[in-house]
């Protein structure tokens, strides 16, 4: 993440697919096998889930019976509380059309159903993080998954090297598959819709701090939206591996679309328990990433100092 310190990644738009297919990744290579303490836990808290928040006050103001301004104020308070107590929440009536969500799921399935040789034609390279890869690690173990990463705004400018005194800037592009003509158009349309959702959420976070809604926009004037399609193939030894190990997101917000199969667990701040996130139709799971957590703490400190 240090490569991108000058260009904040404001969101990670993630598609998760857990549904089985005829394809598997074969036998479990030792590099995938987790140590005993990191293996999947059978005891997962099934009680109170992450907050479910209705965004109608900002996506359908005309349909509100109550005072629209008061409704937005109450909504911002719910967002702020969810950020502080959970760091996760789900949203419904979010404004992302159901049609584009269905299409992104469809093209993702088509891509991951391609032969491995075809997918590797658009593999990630050392100098470019976009593309297909199936060798990602969480801590010291490989994740049991395949991913395809793309930039919502292709051709973004990035530092040419790690060196702080290197002034060279180079464009980064997504390697798109040539044999799926609708793939790029669908991914980019979906990404733009989720970008709009991101900025709506960003304004609500700002309002929850008692600040003007546009207060955080300046931090993301040169942002780069990074998107990922995740696929978790069937595993012959699921008790030994994880699709994705425990981690934090180095983004401002992660906008996560689940399918209707459970598989996502989040760590509850209050007691450290892992909580299973039950899929809600046409919802998104929102994760507060490292970038926004830092901004949030700094802004809360500034606000508190001003008041007191």
Check residue 48 and give its pLDDT: 64
**All domains of the chain, ordered by start, with CATH?**
11-307 (2.60.120.330)
Q: Residue 142 pLDDT > 80, yes or no?
A: no
Check residue 242 and give its pLDDT: 66
First-to-last alpha carbon distance for the chain, in angstroms, is: 36
In 10 A of CB 242, how many CB atoms?
23
Q: Which of 55-59, 182-186, 268-272, 294-298 has the lowest mean pLDDT?
A: 294-298
How much is the average pLDDT of 110-118? 94
For residues 306 and 83, the model is more confident at 83
User: For 12-67, what is each residue's pLDDT tens digit?
Assistant: 444 444 444 444 455 556 554 545 555 555 445 555 678 999 999 999 877 666 78
**Pairing status of strand 52-54 against strand 88-92:** parallel
User: For 56-97, what is each residue's pLDDT tens digit?
Assistant: 999 987 766 678 889 999 999 999 999 888 888 999 999 999
State the Cα angle at 1 between 142 and 199, rounded to 5°: 110
This prediction's pTM: 0.80
The residues pairing with 170 across neighbouring beta strands, listed in sequence order, are 158
Which DSSP string do the residues of 157-216 spell out, in sequence order?
EEESSS-TT---EEEE-----TT-HHHHHHHHHHHHHHHHHHHHHHHHHHHHTTS-TTTT
Check residue 46 and give its pLDDT: 55
**Pairing status of strand 52-54 against strand 141-142:** unpaired
Closest CA to 184 of 194, 195, 173: 173
Q: Residue 2 pLDDT > 50, yes or no?
A: no
For residues 21 and 306, the model is more confident at 21
| Tokens linked to 44 | 């997962």
Check residue 240 and give its pLDDT: 62
Q: What band does 182 get if pLDDT is binned at 50, 70 and 90?
A: very high
Output phi, psi for 78, to 5 deg.
Answer: -65, -40
User: How many CA atoms lie less than 13 Å away from 131 in the CB half-sphere?
Assistant: 18
How much is the average pLDDT of 295-307? 47
Which DSSP string do the residues of 117-161 spell out, in sequence order?
HHHGGGB-BTTB--EEES--EETTEE-S-EEEEEESSSSEEEESS
For 116, residues 6+ apart whose C-beta sits below 8 A from its C-beta are none
Q: Which of 103-107, 118-122, 245-249 has the lowest mean pLDDT?
A: 245-249
**Per-range mean pLDDT, top range of 39-43, 218-222, 233-237, 295-299:** 218-222
Check residue 34 and give its pLDDT: 46
Distance CA 146, CA 252 (A): 23
For residues 183 and 244, the model is more confident at 183
CA R_g for the chain? 20
**Per-range mean pLDDT, top range of 139-143, 180-184, 247-251:** 180-184
Q: Residue 167 pLDDT > 80, yes or no?
A: yes
Q: What band does 114 get if pLDDT is binned at 50, 70 and 90?
A: very high
Check residue 13 and give its pLDDT: 47
For residues 2 and 201, the model is more confident at 201
How much is the average pLDDT of 115-139? 85
User: For 198-209, what is each residue's pLDDT tens digit?
Assistant: 999 999 999 998
For tokens 């209707």, what's the residue? 260
User: For 241-286, what is each residue's pLDDT tens digit?
Assistant: 666 666 677 778 889 998 877 778 787 777 777 788 888 999 999 9
Closest CA to 42 of 176, 198, 239, 201: 239
């Amino acid at each position: 993440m240090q490569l991108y310190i000058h260009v904040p990644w404001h969101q990670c738009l993630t598609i998760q697919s857990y549904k089985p297919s005829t394809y598997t990744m074969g036998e479990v290579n030792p590099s995938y096998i987790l140590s005993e303490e990191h293996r999947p836990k059978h005891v997962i808290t099934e009680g109170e889930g992450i907050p479910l928040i209705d965004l109608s006050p900002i996506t359908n103001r005309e349909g509100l019976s109550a005072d629209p301004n008061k409704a937005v104020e109450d909504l911002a308070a719910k967002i702020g509380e969810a950020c502080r107590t959970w760091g996760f929440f789900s949203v419904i009536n979010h404004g992302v059309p159901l049609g584009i969500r269905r299409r992104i799921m469809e093209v993702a399935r088509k891509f991951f159903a391609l032969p491995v040789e075809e997918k590797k034609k658009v593999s990630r390279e050392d100098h470019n993080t976009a593309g297909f890869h199936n060798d990602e690690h969480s801590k010291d173990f490989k994740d049991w998954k395949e991913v395809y990463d793309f930039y919502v705004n292709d051709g973004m400018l990035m530092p040419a090297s790690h060196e702080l005194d290197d002034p060279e800037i180079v464009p980064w592009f997504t390697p798109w598959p040539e044999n799926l003509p609708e793939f790029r158009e669908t991914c980019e349309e979906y990404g733009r819709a989720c970008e709009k959702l991101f900025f709506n959420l960003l304004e609500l976070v700002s309002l929850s701090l008692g600040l003007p809604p546009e207060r955080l926009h300046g931090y993301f004037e040169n942002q780069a939206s990074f998107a990922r399609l995740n696929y978790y193939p069937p595993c012959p030894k699921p008790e030994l591996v994880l699709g994705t190990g425990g981690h934090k997101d180095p983004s401002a917000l992660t906008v996560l679309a689940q399918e209707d199969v459970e598989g996502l667990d989040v760590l509850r701040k209050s007691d450290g328990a892992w909580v299973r996130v039950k899929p809600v139709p046409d919802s998104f799971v929102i994760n507060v990433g490292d970038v926004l957590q830092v901004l949030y703490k700094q802004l809360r400190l500034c606000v508190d100092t001003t008041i007191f």
